[in-house]
């Protein structure tokens, strides 16, 4: 099995997410990561889904997604021509002794501290999945109290847009 | 001139009228009450009041399947809507164009667990082609027009429109035609020219081609194009359960039905083929048996309007997405130009298949218990009624025998629940078919188990003057389950006895039940009385007719490929496997 990033251009309609998520569940696909949000076009949303699946079943799920009336377009984004980003907020245990080490890691990973308390820091990090995972590894020894993350966001490189042909 | 202002309820009725709907099956209740008021005044729409919403759903399916038109059913919120679920699922599996309209509680009460509230859009999401929740009166015309478009185009299917009560009561300008905005819905009907050429090439090169014909041909109305294609290339034809009637049974190229209970020649033709010309069929497990051993030597041309069917089960060497009628028309043009009146030489293939046909014709033996043979009864119904009649079956043995022993000559003459396997389909589906095609003779061929699931619609038939004929193939048991218990569970008959036979306590007595519903009830126990009863039923048109045919309970459906096994394991009778070539030993 291999990891695939699907980008769905969808109509922003009630129940849309249920239709998409339900389809994955019904056909036996596990969603690794999911990110949903508005696009540059009013009424259209973009869903980025990461799935772990073989090529043939992926083709089937893509076709099934295309059958959903509110799904306008489904594109598989391949790693080489795509920019991908994860976004995480991490609450790390710190004290006077460890704070400077944690701050050093923050600098090295080009992350940012967004909240400070006497016994913890909240750190924001953005980047490719591998970088974010590496950062977590570094922070783990200090004690990660909480971690939240967005799904992977992905967009094709260059000037082309997924919405281009749709709007004509 | 300013547009007319209508209530949402009036807009529903007006939109349906303008969309060409003439018949609706339904049952009112609180949340759909506003719509039933203007419906009463419609001169264009006949509403038929059913006795259970499932009946409305199957009636709408039967209506659609018999006529090729959209079927419409309507129900109230909560249990009214959930009672439609089985029929909606059934229509989804068999690609039936169905519009289901449900009332919903006031939009302000949605999500509060209000009285008779059910999230029917959520419940039916996996079993509809699409669904809509309408909370504003002004959205009604566009939603209904979109729903009908989606249900009837591309691969047909069920669409649910759930309309909140306050949307029905609200007022809005009625604008027609409404603007339909479906940017994500673009069914492909026209095939790719290169694929047509590739398909033609494979057909010309094939030595053992088979036209594997599915229900898509019936839905697309592509039977004449199919006939022409078959004549151009001279290949054998197999018609799946959903495609019975798509190609005339009287034609010598028709080998009959393939699959679990298919004929030996049809099953073998697929199995030994070198080219499956797959038209509107979907490699259902009941056709393929074990997939990895199915037709291993065959290349595949797969024509379907639904791209997701292509490659789902079986790799397609030549995939063609398009409407069957358009695809076959183009294929015929291409082949005619290429072949110039010559047919590919497949004489050897035909010799092999004709030999199987001679040695393994469909047949049956007389039951040991002295009762009538169900196959005989069903054959006589088919023979006396003729190809212009419509036959709707329930699910089980009687369904398989009806598919095998009735000869179909035209599409839409055979209605059944193929994909979902819904017991109880026959009576309401026959009712719907008779409403769609009142001039035709319509039979429900039902089992004693199936009949007891939906027979309340006989009341609907009697009261609304819908004179269907019901043939109960009464073996006093859940026959197909019993057959499996005989074959695979050491004849331990767990919960399959229904006690409806003449040598049981006969609960219920189907003749008395028929009479209670105002139908003519007839019981037939001897084969010499079969014809007279069928003829009497055919002559009786002032009320529905129910014939209780008492048949042997040990009769089995043969041939059979046991579930999960390879089609090579087909048996034409119990423990009897065909010898493929003369002189071949196992």
Strand locations in B466-519 (E) = 469-474
* Cα–Cα distance for residue pair B328/B320, rounded to 1 Å: 10
The predicted structure's pLDDT at residue B585: 45
* Cα–Cα distance for residue pair A163/A39, rounded to 1 Å: 9
Mutate to test the interface with A, among B183, B302, B304 (most CBs of A within 10 A): B183
Mean predicted confidence (pLDDT) in B508-516: 98
**B290 has catalytic annotation:** no
Q: Is A136 exposed, middle or buried (0-12, 13-18, 19+ CB in 10 A)?
A: middle
- Whether B565 is covered by a domain: the verdict is no
The predicted structure's pLDDT at residue B480: 97
Map out the domains of chain A as residue ranges: 2-77, 83-153
Whether A60 sits inside 8 A of B133 (CB atoms) is: no
Mean predicted confidence (pLDDT) in B87-104: 98
The predicted structure's pLDDT at residue A168: 52
Question: Are B212 and B87 part of one and the same domain?
Answer: no
Of the residues B115, B231, B315, B348, only one is catalytic, namely B115
**B334 has catalytic annotation:** no
Of the two residues B522 and B574, the one the predictor is more confident about is B522
Looking up residue B256, the CATH number of its domain turns out to be 3.40.50.1220
The predicted structure's pLDDT at residue B586: 41
Of the residues B242, B400, B453, B480, only one is catalytic, namely B480
- Whether B583 is covered by a domain: the verdict is no
For the domain made up of A83-153, the CATH class stated in words is alpha beta
Whether B133 sits inside 8 A of A11 (CB atoms) is: no
**pLDDT tier at B582 (50, 70, 90 boundaries)?**
low
**B165 has catalytic annotation:** yes
- Whether B121 is covered by a domain: the verdict is yes
The predicted structure's pLDDT at residue A94: 96
* DSSP string across B152-180: HSSS--EEEEEEEHHHHHSEEE--SSPPP
Of the residues B53, B61, B309, B457, only one is catalytic, namely B53
The predicted structure's pLDDT at residue B1: 63
Tell me if chain A has a CB within 8 Å of the CB of B122. yes
Assess contact for B261 and B563: CB atoms under 8 A: no
Helical ranges in B19-103 per DSSP H:
33-41, 53-67, 79-82, 85-93
Whether A11 sits inside 8 A of B184 (CB atoms) is: yes
- Whether B578 is covered by a domain: the verdict is no
- A39-90 tens-digit pLDDT: 999 999 999 999 988 777 889 999 999 999 999 999 999 989 999 999 999 9
Give the angle B390-B67-B234 at the CA atoms, nearest 5°.
Answer: 75
> Which CATH number is A2-77's, of 3.30.70.260, 3.30.420.40, 3.90.700.10, 3.30.565.10?
3.30.70.260
* Cα–Cα distance for residue pair A9/A46, rounded to 1 Å: 5
| Chain pair A-B, CB pairs under 8 angstroms | 41
The yes-or-no answer to whether A2-77 and A83-153 have a common fold is yes
Question: Which residue, B333, B359, B385, sits at the end of a domain?
Answer: B359
Nearest chain A residue (CA) to B183? A72
Answer whether residue B409 shows pLDDT above 50: yes
Tell me if chain B has a CB within 8 Å of the CB of A52. no
Helix axes B140-152, B8-18, angle to 10 degrees: 30
Whether A11 sits inside 8 A of B183 (CB atoms) is: yes
- A52-65 tens-digit pLDDT: 887 778 899 999 99
Answer whether residue B370 shows pLDDT above 50: yes
Mean predicted confidence (pLDDT) in B207-214: 98
* Cα–Cα distance for residue pair B468/B462, rounded to 1 Å: 9
Question: Are B299 and B154 part of one and the same domain?
Answer: no
The predicted structure's pLDDT at residue A163: 84
Assess contact for B290 and B270: CB atoms under 8 A: no
Assess contact for B310 and B155: CB atoms under 8 A: no
> H-helix or E-strand containing B330?
helix B324-339
Number of domains in chain B: 3
CA distance to partner chain A, nearest, from residue B186 (Å)? 9
The predicted structure's pLDDT at residue A167: 59
Mean predicted confidence (pLDDT) in B546-550: 98
Assess contact for B97 and B464: CB atoms under 8 A: no
Q: For chain A, positions 109-138, list CB contacts with chain B under 8 A.
A: none
Whether B312 sits inside 8 A of A68 (CB atoms) is: no
Strand locations in chain A (E) = 2-11, 31-38, 44-53, 71-77, 82-93, 112-117, 120-127, 144-149, 153-156
- A102-155 tens-digit pLDDT: 999 999 999 999 999 999 999 999 999 999 999 999 999 999 999 999 999 999
CA distance to partner chain A, nearest, from residue B286 (Å)? 20
Residue B238's nearest CA partner among B203, B201, B273 is: B273
Q: How far is CA B304 from its chain centroid?
A: 18
Assess contact for B240 and B536: CB atoms under 8 A: no
Strands across the sheet with A44-53, in order? A31-38, A44-53, A2-11, A71-77
Chain B residues touching A162 at Cβ < 8 A: none
| Mean of per-residue pLDDT scores for chain B | 97
**B116 has catalytic annotation:** yes
Question: Are B35 and B85 part of one and the same domain?
Answer: yes
Chain A residues touching B184 at Cβ < 8 A: 10-11, 68-73
Question: Are B392 and B325 part of one and the same domain?
Answer: no
Question: Are B354 and B408 part of one and the same domain?
Answer: no
The predicted structure's pLDDT at residue A164: 79
Mean predicted confidence (pLDDT) in B210-237: 98
* Cα–Cα distance for residue pair B517/B510, rounded to 1 Å: 10
Whether A15 sits inside 8 A of B183 (CB atoms) is: no
- The shortest CB-CB distance from B126 to any of A26, A72, A73 is to A26
Query: What ipTM is given for this predicted complex?
Result: 0.92
Looking up residue B412, the CATH number of its domain turns out to be 3.40.50.970
Question: Are B327 and B240 part of one and the same domain?
Answer: yes
Whether B126 sits inside 8 A of A71 (CB atoms) is: no
Chain B residues touching A26 at Cβ < 8 A: 126
**B115 has catalytic annotation:** yes
- The shortest CB-CB distance from B133 to any of A11, A14, A166 is to A14
Assess contact for B78 and B150: CB atoms under 8 A: no
Answer whether residue B2 shows pLDDT above 80: no
Query: For residue B512, what are the domain limits?
Result: 374-550
């Amino acid at each position: 099995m291999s990891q695939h990033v699907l980008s769905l251009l969808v109509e922003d309609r009630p129940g849309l997410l249920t239709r998409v998520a339900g389809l994955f569940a019904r056909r036996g696909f596990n969603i690794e990561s999911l990110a949903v949000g508005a696009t540059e076009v009013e009424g259209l949303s973009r869903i980025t889904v990461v799935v772990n699946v073989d090529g043939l079943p992926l083709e089937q799920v893509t076709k099934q997604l295309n059958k959903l009336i509110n799904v306008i377009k489904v594109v598989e984004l391949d790693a080489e021509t795509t920019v991908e980003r994860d976004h995480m907020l991490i609450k790390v245990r710190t004290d006077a002794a460890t704070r400077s080490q944690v701050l050093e890691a923050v600098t090295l990973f080009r992350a940012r501290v967004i909240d400070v308390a006497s016994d913890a820091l909240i750190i924001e990090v953005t980047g490719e999945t591998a970088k974010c995972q590496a950062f977590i590894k570094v922070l783990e020894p200090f004690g990660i109290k909480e971690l939240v993350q967005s799904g992977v966001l992905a967009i094709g490189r260059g000037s082309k847009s997924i919405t281009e042909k749709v709007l004509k | 001139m300013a547009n007319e202002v209508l209530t949402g309820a009036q807009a529903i009725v007006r939109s349906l009228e303008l969309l060409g709907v003439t018949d609706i099956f339904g049952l009112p209740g609180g949340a759909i009450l506003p719509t039933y008021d203007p419906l009463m005044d419609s001169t264009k729409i006949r509403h038929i009041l059913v006795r259970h919403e499932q009946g409305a759903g199957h009636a709408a399916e039967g209506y659609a399947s018999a006529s090729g038109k959209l079927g419409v059913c309507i129900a109230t919120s909560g249990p009214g809507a959930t009672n439609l679920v089985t029929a909606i699922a059934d229509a989804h599996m068999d690609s039936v164009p169905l519009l289901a309209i449900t009332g919903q509680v006031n939009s302000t009460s949605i999500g509060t667990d209000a009285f008779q509230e059910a999230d029917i859009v959520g419940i039916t999401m996996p079993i509809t082609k699409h669904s809509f929740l309408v909370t504003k009166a002004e959205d009604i015309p566009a939603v209904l027009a979109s729903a009908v478009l989606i249900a009837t185009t591309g691969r047909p299917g069920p669409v649910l429109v759930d309309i909140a009560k306050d949307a029905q009561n609200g007022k809005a300008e009625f604008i027609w035609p409404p603007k339909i905005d479906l940017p994500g819905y673009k069914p492909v009907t026209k095939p790719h020219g290169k694929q047509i050429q590739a398909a033609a090439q494979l057909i010309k090169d094939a030595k053992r081609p088979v036209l594997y014909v599915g229900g898509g041909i019936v839905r697309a109305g592509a039977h004449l194009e199919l006939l022409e294609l078959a004549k151009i290339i001279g290949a054998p034809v197999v018609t799946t359960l959903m495609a019975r009637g798509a190609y005339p049974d009287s034609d010598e190229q028709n080998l009959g039905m393939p699959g679990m209970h298919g004929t030996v020649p049809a099953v073998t033709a697929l199995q030994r083929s070198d080219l499956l010309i797959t038209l509107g069929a979907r490699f259902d497990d009941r056709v393929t048996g074990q997939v990895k051993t199915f037709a291993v030597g065959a290349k595949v041309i797969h024509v379907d309007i639904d791209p997701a069917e292509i490659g789902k089960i079986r790799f397609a060497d030549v995939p063609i997405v398009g409407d069957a009628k358009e695809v076959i028309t183009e294929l015929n043009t291409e082949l005619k130009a290429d072949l110039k009146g010559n047919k590919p030489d497949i004489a050897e293939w035909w010799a092999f298949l004709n030999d199987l046909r001679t040695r393994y014709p469909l047949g049956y033996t007389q039951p040991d218990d002295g009762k009538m043979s169900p196959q005989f009864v069903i054959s006589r119904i088919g023979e006396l009624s003729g190809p212009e009649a419509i036959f709707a079956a329930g699910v089980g043995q009687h369904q398989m025998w009806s598919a095998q022993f009735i000869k179909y000559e035209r599409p839409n003459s055979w209605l059944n629940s193929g994909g979902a396997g819904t017991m109880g389909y026959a009576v309401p589906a026959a009712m719907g078919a008779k409403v769609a095609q009142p001039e035709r003779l319509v039979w429900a061929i039902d089992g004693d188990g199936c009949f007891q699931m939906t027979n309340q619609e006989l009341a609907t038939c009697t009261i609304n003057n819908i004179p269907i004929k019901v043939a109960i193939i009464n073996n006093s048991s859940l026959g197909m389950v019993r057959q499996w218990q005989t074959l695979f569970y050491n004849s331990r008959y767990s919960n399959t006895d229904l006690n409806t036979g003449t040598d049981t306590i006969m609960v219920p007595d189907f003749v008395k039940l028929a009479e209670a519903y105002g139908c003519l009830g007839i019981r037939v126990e001897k084969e010499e009385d079969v014809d007279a009863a069928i003829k009497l039923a055919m002559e009786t048109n002032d009320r529905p007719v129910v014939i209780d045919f008492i048949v042997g309970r040990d009769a089995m459906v043969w041939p059979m490929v046991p579930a999960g096994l390879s089609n090579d394991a087909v048996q034409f009778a119990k423990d009897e496997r065909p010898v493929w070539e003369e002189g071949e030993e196992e």
